[in-house]
Amino acid sequence: MVLGNVQALRAIAALMVVVVHAYAVESTYLPGRPWTTPFHILGTYGVDLFFVISGLVMLVSTADWFGESAAPRRFLTRRATRIYPPYWIVTALVLVVYVIAPSVTGAHRSARPEILASFLALPQQGEPLLVVGWTLSYELVFYAVFALALRFRRRFLPLVTAVWLLSIVLIGALGSHENPWVRVLGSWFNLEFVFGMAIGALVLKRAFAAPRALFAVALGLIVVVCVVTAYSGREYFTVEWWRPWAVGLPMALLVYASLGLENAGAVVPRWLRAQGDASYALYLWHVLVLGALGVALHRIHLHGTPARIAIVFGGYALAIAFSFAAYRWIERPLLRLARKYLERDATQINRKAVAPSG
């Protein structure tokens, strides 16, 4: 199933996250109020969009796997080979920078990053080496739950999901939030994956209702959230228990409406879908690109408006260009290599399964 409009939304989500770190670079290297101040909190909402999309894509892409004994292993292996290799490369580069010049990557850290947890994208007390890696901790939890659900027939997915939601409530209520594992396992952020799976269930049934009206409603709700956030100067929607409802639900409506529009023949431009293909590369690499740009501007003593233009507009342009290059020459070759290995591994397993005993 082609999800072209979802790829475009992936691009938008990644571009939203970029502004968060453009703000961080402005704040670190330039005095005064950053140009990105009204937008940096809005940029964090790109994560909510990513989580919704993840729930959708996982269900739609594995709809025929449910009930297969090998499905959980196959799913987790494919997700690991898709997520980890590019992430490890960028994290390793950040580690090198952190060792050589800790202030460049650790100026705003509340705690020293845990190396092993950073490479495995596991929950930790402070920020991981690659700051965007914290979101992968939530993705991994979702993958584990989804892999468990794949072991059963698809009709049991609502039951598995209900048990997961109950565990989120119990862990969040009974556990210590000073424990990083409790913060992730008991986080209401996880509800956004459920929103995505609900959309996926509708998509599999080809149940698209009033996409134009829903798209308008979704945009209206998102505009309200953005206006309140931008003009209040406060992070009203960061309170975890209701952020999925205030931010995640409008994002889910946007995703569902976009798919309905695509089903009706309305598709986004090809260039935006292409950026969606490179969205993971943009998500991983933009932190290093913007950080390097900030250091370079500081070294050449460029300040004021020219420096802000360079960070905001030049930083975006460099991050986008680098994401396409990384996607083409790093991510895709790694993915091809991983798929080749997986196909060979699957062939060997099948041969062992059919080989006569004795």
pLDDT for position 1: 64
Report the distance separating Cα 160 and Cα 341, nearest Å: 31
- For residue 299, which amino acid is it? R
pLDDT for position 238: 60
- Give the pair of three-digit tokens for residue 115: 């190396």
Contact between 165 and 149 under an 8 Å Cβ cutoff? The reply is no
pLDDT for position 343: 63
pLDDT for position 356: 47
Contact between 115 and 267 under an 8 Å Cβ cutoff? The reply is no
Selection from 129, 14, 101 nearest residue 298 by Cα: 101
pLDDT for position 341: 79
Q: Give Cα separations from 45 to 50, 250, 347 (angstroms).
A: 9, 11, 42
CB neighbours (10 Å) of residue 291? 22
Report the distance separating Cα 142 and Cα 160, nearest Å: 12
pLDDT for position 228: 82
Report the distance separating Cα 252 and Cα 254, nearest Å: 5
| Exposure class string for 185-223: b at 16+ Cβ within 10 A, else e | bbbbbbbbbbbbbbbbbbbeeeebeebeebbeebeebbe
**pLDDT per position in the chain (358 positions), as tens?**
678 999 999 999 999 999 999 999 999 999 999 998 878 888 999 999 999 999 999 999 999 999 999 999 999 999 999 999 999 999 999 999 998 887 676 556 667 889 999 999 999 998 999 999 999 999 999 999 999 999 999 999 999 999 999 999 999 899 888 899 999 999 999 999 999 999 999 999 999 989 999 999 999 999 898 888 777 655 556 656 788 999 999 999 999 999 999 999 998 999 999 999 999 999 999 999 999 999 999 999 999 999 999 999 999 999 999 999 999 999 999 999 988 877 666 555 445 444 444 4
- Provide the whole-model pTM: 0.93
Contact between 90 and 288 under an 8 Å Cβ cutoff? The reply is yes
pLDDT for position 175: 86
